[in-house]
Amino acid sequence: MLQIAALAFPQFDPVAIAIGPLAIRWYALAYIVGILIAWWYCRRLARRDDSGVTLPVLDDLVFWAVIGVVLGGRIGYVLVYNFSFFLQHPLDILRVWEGGMSFHGGMLGVLLAIGFVARKHKLRYFQVSDVVACATPIGLFLGRLANFVNGELYGRVSDLPWAMVFPNGGPLPRHPSQLYQATLEGILLFLALYLLVRLGKLRQVGFISGAFLAGYGLARIVGEFFREPDPQLGFLFGPVTMGQLLSLPMVLIGVWFMLRARRAARSG
């Protein structure tokens, strides 16, 4: 039987900074800060002898990566998660500050940006993507915290002591699944990739990129067991959600990348 008492959801002001008519929401600020910190971290990695990526390359990449994240994330959300709504309200597509970004779409946008920059600077694709992958969990962590502040993407009904009643989640307490995902996709994944860098895996070109894909995919699959499925999609079949379906290929491709990178390093 579900407990009656539950933690109250903190009443966050969605606006982080307001200067006259200009209002910057926490959701937008999370993206801005996440990109800046990730850029700084990538620049630190670029100073390592085994990264193969120079600072000018990263300075060029950050511009294209921002475009890829915003356009890819929004287009992915519109097409995959709520196409019928945006078909009827096309102007709402531009309201990105209110939330609604697809990680898988944003990742595709960044992958295209990496390909463009790598070709421009005559680098191997995975030389650039390995460095970017190390920093990506930083943005994921901040993005999930922004989801929590917005009270969106909350979890399934739960009777655990830390379950919360979310403003738009009905009267029953739910998992704060945004915080679970911030821990899995952000903190734990960052630490795992950091450990691989310390072990010299940047020298195995493509290994870190594969580890990120596999690690994120696994973290997302686990997190989806606690997260309430998007109402317009629900469960696809049985207990499987869209997030899990999209993440499974990431795990398989990531493992393949790691195996291929290790074989190439041994043969080289």
What value does the mean pLDDT take over residues 212-225?
96
The answer on pLDDT for 125 being more than 60 is yes
Res 8: pLDDT:
81
Look at residue 20 and tell me if it is in a domain.
Answer: no
Pair 155, 182: CB distance under 8 Å: no
Domain that holds residue 254: 26-267
Using the predicted structure, report yes or no on whether residue 178 has a pLDDT greater than 80.
yes
Q: What is the pLDDT of residues 243-265, one digit of tens each?
A: 899 899 999 999 999 999 999 98
Among 97-101, 133-137, 187-191, name the one with the lowest average pLDDT.
97-101
In a domain, 2, yes or no: no
106-to-114, 251, 260 alpha-carbon distances in Å = 12, 17, 25
pLDDT at residue 1, as a whole number: 41
Report how many domains make up the chain: 1
Look at residue 169 and tell me if it is in a domain: yes
List the beta strands (DSSP E) in the chain. 7-8, 15-19, 22-25, 164-165
Inside any domain, residue 21: no
pLDDT of residue 21: 67
Task: Please give the pLDDT value at position 194.
Answer: 96
Q: What's the mean pLDDT when you consider all of the chain?
A: 87
**Closest listed residue to residue 179, CA positions, set 205, 136, 146:** 146
Among 74-78, 81-85, 189-193, the range scoring the smallest mean pLDDT is 81-85
User: Does 16 map to a domain?
Assistant: no
- Of the pLDDT bands very low, low, confident and very high (cuts 50, 70, 90), residue 131 is very high
Task: Summarize the chain as % helix, strand, coil (round to 5).
Answer: 65, 5, 30
Confirm whether 237 is domain-assigned.
Answer: yes
Kindly state the DSSP code that residue 14 receives in the 8-state scheme: S
What's the whole-number mean pLDDT along residues 170-189? 96
12 inside domain: no
State residue 50's pLDDT score. 65
pTM of the predicted structure, to 2 decimals: 0.84
Residue 131 CB contacts under 8 Å (≥ 6 apart), including other chains: 42, 45, 46, 51, 53, 58, 202, 208
Predicted local confidence at residue 148, as pLDDT: 92
**pLDDT computed for residue 69 by the predictor:** 84
Confidence (pLDDT) at 236: 77
Q: What is the mean pLDDT of residues 102-107?
A: 77
Region 7-27: mean pLDDT is 76
Task: Kindly give the residue spans of alpha helices, DSSP state H, lying in 12-124.
Answer: 26-46, 55-76, 83-88, 103-120
Residue type, 222: V
Identify the weakest region by mean pLDDT among 25-34, 66-75, 222-231.
25-34
Tens digit of pLDDT for each residue in 43-71?
999 887 666 788 899 999 999 988 888 88
Domain assignment of residue 17, yes or no:
no
Q: Give mean pLDDT, residues 101-116.
A: 85
Q: Has residue 4 got a pLDDT over 60?
A: no
119-157 per-residue burial string, b: 16 or more CB within 10 A, e: under 16 = eeeebebbbbbbbbbbbbbbbbbbbbbbbbbbbbbbbbe
